[in-house]
Structure 1
């Protein structure tokens, strides 16, 4: 995969692979080997209190591991989520954007380790930010690049 991808196609792919993300209206905004971002609209994701549903905030943050993990180049390897913790810091009343990064050095380490051992763990920290720039949630996720088969 190259460093530049068609974001509309990436969004459509996410909706096909995980249909609930399509129902939530999640849109891929950025997808590169070292960074990923996605937007969650408020519309279908508002709870009975009029703020963003906690599960939707969790989902837009967690799914970024699959976006970043899709850029690893180890044959037969897939990204898996092992654990994600979330802190809800403020109620979200608007659309939100989740964003995460992974350094070039960490990408190289994960790929080398997975190629040698069949798996490698990595961590992603994500911030979920509303339209006013307020952090409404933070996640810390443990993911694994695992060679299947």
Structure 2
């Protein structure tokens, strides 16, 4: 259902983009157009790495989470639109999770989505992929 909604939303956006706007559109560094830029791998700033792990530990259930090395992606080498991404697994269980710390929020993969398709998984793939 979410996929159908997103496809409809994309079609509506594309249809709306074909006309000339009557008022000026303000473009900011955080505008949605930046999400269309290809992302590159950048160093993880120390404070963002700590924030990502802290937010992840607060969001994950249970104890004993072990993190693989974190990595970051951004739209440029200055770290614009930074996402700190990683993988964690819980010791003594089969629990594991991909996650991202992005704009102060924790985004966690949805392992219950059919064939891995969900809004969360699509967004994680978009912000954590790099060229």
> Which range, TM-score by smaller chain?
0.3 to 0.5
Greater per-residue strand proportion: 1
Greater per-residue helix proportion: 2
What is the TM-score when the length of structure 1 is the normalising length?
Answer: 0.30
What is the TM-score when the length of structure 2 is the normalising length?
Answer: 0.32
